[in-house]
Homo-oligomer: A and B are copies of this chain.
Amino acid sequence: MNFLEERIAKDGVVKEGNVLKVDSFLNHQMDIELFDEMGAEFKRRFANENINKILTIEASGIGIACIAAMHFHVPVVFAKKSQSVNLDGEMYVAEVESFTHKCKNQVIVSKKFLSPDDHVLIIDDFLANGYALQGLISIVHEAGATVEGIGIAVEKGFQIGGQVIRNLGYHLESLAIVESMDPAAGTVNFREQD
C-alpha cells in the first residue's frame, strides 16, 4: 500500500451503500502534510507533462489542488458549481447530468482564466461516476486548451468514471483506487498499481 492507501485503511470509515468517509483528513478536515505528499506524488506521476495551470472544482478539490500547485509552480483555477453573483463577464458553462440522481449541475469557469495557451492538469479529491470531471474536461476543450493529465486522490474503481476517462485516452492518475469495501469488517481493498 502507498501512503494514501495506508491512511485510508487507518482513518477512512466504510459505510453501507459503498460510502467511504475520509472527512477527517481529506475533504472536511484536511491534513496538509498528507496533501504535500500527494502533491509530490502528482508531480512525480506527471513529470513528463508540460503543465502551466491546475484546474479543480469547489469545494473539496481546492485544497489538494493548491498544495499540488506548490510542486508544479503554476496557478490554480477553481470551477464553480452554480452561477455566482461574483462571476461577471463571459463564462464557460458545462451542464452535466447525473445518470443516477437525474439532476443537472453547472460547472462554471470564467473565460479570462482558460485559453488555447493553457496546458491543464485537472485535480479533484474523488472520482466515482465522473460527472464533475466530464464537465471540467468539456470546459478545457471549449477553451481550446489541452488536458495534459488528470490527478485524483481517491477513485472508486467499481464505478464507471475512471474507466470511461481511460478509454478516452486521458492520462488519469488516481493515488488510491478502491476496488471494494466491506462495511461489516470496515475494510477497503485497493487496486494494485505500479
Chain A interface residues toward B at CB < 8 A:
21, 23-25, 27-33, 35-36, 58-59, 62-63, 65-67, 69-70, 73-78, 80, 86-88, 109-110, 112-113
Contact = CB atoms under 8 A, between A and B. Distances in A.
A30 B73 contact: no
Nearest to A19: B86
A32 B75 contact: yes
Given A59-B59, A78-B59, A32 B110 contact: no
Given A28-B110, A29-B113, A62-B63, 17 more contacts: A24-B112, A28-B86, A29-B76, A29-B77, A30-B76, A32-B66, A32-B69, A32-B70, A32-B73, A35-B66, A58-B58, A59-B59, A62-B62, A63-B63, A63-B66, A66-B66, A66-B67
A22 to B, nearest CB: 10
22 contacts: A21-B86, A23-B87, A23-B110, A23-B112, A28-B77, A28-B86, A28-B87, A28-B113, A30-B66, A30-B69, A30-B75, A32-B69, A32-B76, A33-B73, A36-B70, A59-B78, A62-B62, A62-B66, A63-B76, A66-B66, A66-B67, A67-B67
A93 to B, nearest CB: 14
A154 to B, nearest CB: 13
Contacts of A31: 75
A86 B76 CA distance: 25
A64 to B, nearest CB: 8
B75 A29 contact: yes
Nearest to A77: B29
